[in-house]
């Protein structure tokens, strides 16, 4: 499944890969980065230590926990003059508004990864050495607000191989490859 709003900006250079824990933000963001030659950063690496500790202990983050982290995510986007793919859950509309505001990119592109709870759960359970306990998936799903039609977002199903997801993202956002990949540069 994939959807394309009508007025989507072509070939955006500031892209947020969003969705609940275990939806594949890191896997897809990295693979997309390699495909199009745009840097990837993982929002997980920007969480203050106390947020990571909270999640590790099985406690969902609150809005107040997330604001400072979202501002670091927004600043990372703002500072990336060459462009950036950022993996960031961005679960609520107000969080995405905050990213749009802090990054200075009102037209930030969002790639929303979605799939059935059973698949998310099994992917989280299969994952080793990650601080996020699968038990927190419920609260992630409760917090999630699916992007609205005016949010410059595409929706990609996680029920397919990562490379197929990347193909869809490249096609829907009309993304160009690394400079020189088509013989013309960007």
Ligand X SMILES: Nc1ncnc2c1ncn2[C@@H]1O[C@H](COP(=O)(O)OP(=O)(O)OP(=O)(O)O)[C@@H](O)[C@H]1O
Ligand Y SMILES: O=C(O)[C@H](O)[C@@H](O)[C@H](O)[C@H](O)CO
Which residues in this chain contact ligand X in the complex, by CB under 6 A? 19, 21-27, 44, 87, 89, 123, 126-127, 132, 158, 161-162, 165
Q: Rounded distance, CA 4 to CA 118, Å?
A: 26
27 versus 139: smaller Cβ distance to ligand X: 27
How long a stretch of residues is the chain? Answer: 186
- HSE value, Cβ hemisphere, 13 Å, CA-based, for 73: 30
Interacting residues with ligand Y between 90 and 109 (CB under 6 A): 91
Residue with tokens 């501002």: 71
* Phi, psi torsion values for 145, nearest 5 degrees: -120, 115
63 versus 182: smaller Cβ distance to ligand Y: 63
* Count of residues in contact with ligand Y, rule CB under 6 A: 9
60 versus 177: smaller Cβ distance to ligand Y: 60
61 binds, among ligand Y, ligand X, none (CB under 5 to 8 A by kind): ligand Y
74 binds, among ligand X, ligand Y, none (CB under 5 to 8 A by kind): none
Give the nearest distance from C-beta 130 to ligand Y in angstroms: 6
Among 31, 36, 89, 155, binds ligand Y (CB under 6 A): 89
**Can residue 132 be called a binding residue for ligand Y (CB under 6 A)?**
yes
Tell me the Cα Rg of the chain. 16
8 versus 30: smaller Cβ distance to ligand X: 30
Pairing of β 153-157 and β 109-114: parallel
121 binds, among ligand Y, ligand X, none (CB under 5 to 8 A by kind): none
Per-position DSSP letters for 92-122, written without gaps between them: SHHHHHHHHHHHT-TT-EEEEEE--HHHHHH
Q: Which two tokens stand for residue 61?
A: 């983050």
Nearest to 143, CA basis, from 105, 92, 102? 92
Give the nearest distance from C-beta 173 to ligand Y in angstroms: 23
Residue 18 pairs in a beta bridge with 112
Binding site for ligand Y (CB under 6 A): 21, 44, 47, 61, 66, 89, 91, 132, 140
């Amino acid at each position: 499944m994939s959807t394309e709003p009508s007025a989507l900006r072509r070939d955006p250079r500031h892209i947020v890969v969003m969705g609940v824990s275990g939806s594949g933000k890191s896997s897809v963001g990295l693979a997309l980065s390699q495909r199009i030659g745009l840097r990837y950063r993982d929002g997980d690496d920007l969480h203050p230590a106390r947020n990571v500790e909270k999640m590790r202990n099985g406690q969902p983050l609150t809005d107040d926990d997330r604001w400072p982290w979202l501002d670091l995510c927004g600043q990372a986007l703002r500072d990336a003059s060459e462009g950036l793919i950022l993996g960031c859950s961005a679960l609520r509309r107000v969080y995405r508004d905050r990213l749009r505001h802090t990054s200075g990119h009102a037209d930030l592109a969002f790639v929303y990864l979605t799939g059935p709870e059973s698949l998310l759960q099994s992917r989280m359970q299969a994952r080793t050495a990650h601080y996020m306990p699968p038990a927190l998936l419920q609260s992630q799903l409760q917090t999630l607000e699916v992007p609205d039609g005016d949010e410059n977002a595409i929706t990609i199903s996680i029920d397919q191989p990562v490379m197929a997801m990347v193909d869809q993202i490249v096609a829907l956002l009309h993304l160009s490859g690394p400079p020189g990949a088509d013989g013309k540069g960007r």
